[in-house]
């Protein structure tokens, strides 16, 4: 293994014969956040350059993650919001939060071209040279050297940060480190779990025979303890059923159905238990255009290659390439098994064969995404580390540079044996109280480590807080804030730690960034009134007549997930079933009727194409029981019918997710007197 000094010497020597590129700001990583950082730097009059490891701009936003994880649109401002408005123009609407990958990439390409930003592709970082606490230049494996006054590490892996000697962590911290409850090893993992017991041993029932593939041979550990496990990676898949734009999904060269014995046993066990399953029990299929998908992980065995990425954050390029290819082969094999193996229910096989790769997406990678979903890798350890306390408003900061709003969301980190059965471990889905601010100190290194580096993607956050922050709109927000501060530091010839926050704040607000979430901001989606009007947002659902019960007042069974993704909604949020645990979740309202009479009942939800079309709602009044099925795809307020109700708690209304064909959403119940 070559030392860092040796690597730099090689690269630096090669630079005598290669290009030396000088700029004010060098952005390493052409991800979504990297492109927006470069654009902001150029807008502030700086000479900017992008050095990108791969061959495409946009990272995951152009690499398949096109069903945008938002949390709350009102928390997204500045150039990030402008990006989604630009996509909206392509589709003839105000904003587009779902889109084709190629449309996103074209917008990123347009941005750098319009602003005259040089982009250098296929740049593999070899070494970082520092003088004291300042990076003077970075060298690539091809010998290219970049010299700049300020550097922004906009990579998903944090390679520049690490080579610059900045403190970082990867894996899960123990809950005790930052006083958290959701970090570390999870005692219970109800979501994305096996629905029935599955034998994990190579020879069923024989623990001495070893484990099936895709199960880690590690002990479960102590709940709350930290470890080096990293939440699972996958690829976000753009498939189609449109035969005019369809390519076959071929099995990988090394396909072996025996590797998927665990999946076969899972199907066998589901059949024995009498459970009916569909393809959507194994894939989250969201349509981002009329005929293109963004497919993500769903259920106990899906596209996440659980536990097979733990070495990725600190791996060399050759090892990362192997992990990358292993993930791609796994997904190809998984799909091949679903299409062809007789242990898979016929209805699942029949639907899987209808899906194909999309001919006009990812043409240079054979229809497969050019970006693996690196959900987390390294995370900086700075003078301020964002934690669960920030998400819950148990701790607040006074130097915000943007807002985060998504669930504290970790995919499973391990698949292990517990009590003689296979069990996924690590999934967490808990909503924050409301959009919360991210500290400036969390995007710059510790005092005394590096004074001209920003880290907007691998920023300082605990595992569980990062699970909320790690969304593409937020990365663009952090990229813009980083470039703004970098430009100010250049102008004043100061360190990144010495930037005057009051001046920074004033410029961020001028540029449309949203820094605080107040009651007034909530009422208009977090924006100033002009921004809200332009975006067509109206904030929370206005006051409704009659008796309105928020879902927070109802009795819940099962692990419902709180969300703010689709507005408007009653109260502070709504809940959904995660399109999982079908038949195991209910929400029960018991309204207190003030006067006897006839009332029309309405179930309130937030419509979306991924919602269920057959949600059963059971209304119990005295001896009468009535079941109504409602379609939540298009209607926000669905009538349950008219009923004669006595004064008091005469009615019980229960929403179930039994046998539903999509996400079940509950936002509230309205009881409207009939006049």
Give yes or no for a contact between 238 and 292, defined as CB atoms under 8 angstroms apart: yes
Dist CA 112 CA 361 (whole Å): 21
State residue 81's pLDDT score.
96
Give yes or no for a contact between 166 and 450, defined as CB atoms under 8 angstroms apart: yes
State residue 532's pLDDT score.
39
Question: How far does CA 246 lie from the centroid of its chain?
Answer: 27
Dist CA 318 CA 594 (whole Å): 70
Give yes or no for a contact between 591 and 553, defined as CB atoms under 8 angstroms apart: no
State residue 17's pLDDT score.
61
Cis omega (within 30 of 0) for bond into 15: no
Residue 489, H or E segment: helix 472-492
DSSP percent split of the chain into helix, strand, coil, nearest 5 = 25, 25, 50
| Structure token pair of residue 170 | 């990867």
Question: How far does CA 262 lie from the centroid of its chain?
Answer: 27
Rg (CA), the chain: 26
**Collapsing DSSP states into helix, strand and coil, what is residue 362?**
coil
**Collapsing DSSP states into helix, strand and coil, what is residue 15?**
helix
Q: Give every residue of the chain whose pLDDT is below 50, as ranges.
A: 1-2, 4, 11-15, 519-540
In eight-state DSSP terms, residue 239 is E
Q: Which of 61, 673, 674, 108 is nearest to 373 (CA)?
A: 61
| Structure token pair of residue 593 | 């009727």
| Structure token pair of residue 614 | 């057959």
Q: Which residues contact 346 (CB under 8 A, 6 or more apart)?
A: none
Region for 19 from its dihedrals, namely left if φ exceeds 0, alpha if ψ lies in -120 to 50, beta otherwise: beta
Over the stretch 129-149, which tens digit does the pLDDT of each residue have? 999 999 999 999 999 999 999
**Collapsing DSSP states into helix, strand and coil, what is residue 555?**
strand
Dist CA 69 CA 67 (whole Å): 7
How many C-beta atoms lie closer than 10 Å to residue 207's C-beta? 12
Dist CA 425 CA 303 (whole Å): 16
Give yes or no for a contact between 77 and 477, defined as CB atoms under 8 angstroms apart: yes
SS3 for 95-160 is CCCECCHHHHHHHHHHHHHHCCCCEECCCCEEEEEEECCEEEEEEECCCCEEEEEEEEECCCCCHH
């Amino acid at each position: 293994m070559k030392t860092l000094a040796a690597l730099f010497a090689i690269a630096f020597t090669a630079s005598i014969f290669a290009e030396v590129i000088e700029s004010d700001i060098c952005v390493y990583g052409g991800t979504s956040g990297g492109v927006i950082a470069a654009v902001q730097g150029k807008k502030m009059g700086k000479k900017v350059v992008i050095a990108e490891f791969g061959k495409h701009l946009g990272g995951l936003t152009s690499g398949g993650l096109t069903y945008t994880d938002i949390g709350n649109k009102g928390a997204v401002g500045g150039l990030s919001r402008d990006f989604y408005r630009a996509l909206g123009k392509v589709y003839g609407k105000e904003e587009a939060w779902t889109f084709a990958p190629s449309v996103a990439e074209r917008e990123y390409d347009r941005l750098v071209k319009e602003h005259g930003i040089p982009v250098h592709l296929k740049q593999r970082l070899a070494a970082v040279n520092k003088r004291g606490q300042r990076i003077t230049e970075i060298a690539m494996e091809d010998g290219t050297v970049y010299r700049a006054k300020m550097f922004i590490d906009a990579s998903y892996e944090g390679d520049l940060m690490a080579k610059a000697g900045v403190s970082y962590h990867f894996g899960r911290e123990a809950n005790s480190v930052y006083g958290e409850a959701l970090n570390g090893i999870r005692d219970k993992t109800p979501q994305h779990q096996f629905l029935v017991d599955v034998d994990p041993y190579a020879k069923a029932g024989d623990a001495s025979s070893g484990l099936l593939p895709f199960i880690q041979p590690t002990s479960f550990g102590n709940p709350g303890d930290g470890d080096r496990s990293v939440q699972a990676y996958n690829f976000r898949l753009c498939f189609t059923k449109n035969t005019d734009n369809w390519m076959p999904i071929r099995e990988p060269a090394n396909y072996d159905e025996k590797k998927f014995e665990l999946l076969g046993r899972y199907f066998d066990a589901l059949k024995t238990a009498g459970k009916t399953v569909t393809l959507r029990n194994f894939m989250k299929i969201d349509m981002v255009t009329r005929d293109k998908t963004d497919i993500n992980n769903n259920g106990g065995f899906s596209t996440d290659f659980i536990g097979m990425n733990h070495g990725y954050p600190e791996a060399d390029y050759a090892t990362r390439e192997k992990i990358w290819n292993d993930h791609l082969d796994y997904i190809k094999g998984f799909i091949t098994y679903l299409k062809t193996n007789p242990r898979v229910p016929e209805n699942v096989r029949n639907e899987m064969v209808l899906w194909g790769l999309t001919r006009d997406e990812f043409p240079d990678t054979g229809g497969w995404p050019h970006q693996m979903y690196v959900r987390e890798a390294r995370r900086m350890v700075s003078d301020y580390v964002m934690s669960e306390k920030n998400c819950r408003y148990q701790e607040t900061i006074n130097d915000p540079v943007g807002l985060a709003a998504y669930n504290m969301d970790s995919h499973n980190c391990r698949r292990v044996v517990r009590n003689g059965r296979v069990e996924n471990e690590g999934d967490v889905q808990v909503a924050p109280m409301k959009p919360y601010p991210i500290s400036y100190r969390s995007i710059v290194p510790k005092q005394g480590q590096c004074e001209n580096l920003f880290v907007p993607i691998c920023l300082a956050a605990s595992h569980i807080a990062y699970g909320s922050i790690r969304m593409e709109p937020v990365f663009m927000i952090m990229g813009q804030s980083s470039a703004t501060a970098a430009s100010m530091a250049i102008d004043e010839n100061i360190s990144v730690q010495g930037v005057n926050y009051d001046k920074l704040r004033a410029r961020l607000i001028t540029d449309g960034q949203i820094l605080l979430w107040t009651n007034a901001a909530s009422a208009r989606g977090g924006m100033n009134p002009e921004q809200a009007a332009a975006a067509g947002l109206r904030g929370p659902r206005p006051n409704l007549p009659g008796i309105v019960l928020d879902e927070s007042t109802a009795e819940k069974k099962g692990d419902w997930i709180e969300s703010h993704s689709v507005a408007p909604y009653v109260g502070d949020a709504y809940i959904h079933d995660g399109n999982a645990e079908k038949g195991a979740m209910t929400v029960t309202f018991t309204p207190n009727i003030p006067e006897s009479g006839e009332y029309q009942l309405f179930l309130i939800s937030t419509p979306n194409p991924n919602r269920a079309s057959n949600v059963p709602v059971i209304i119990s009044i005295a001896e009468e029981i009535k079941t109504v099925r409602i379609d939540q795809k298009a209607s926000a307020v669905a009538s349950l019918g008219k009923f004669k109700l006595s004064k008091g708690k005469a009615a019980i209304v229960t929403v179930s997710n039994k046998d539903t064909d999509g996400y079940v959403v509950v936002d509230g119940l309205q009881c409207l007197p009939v006049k």
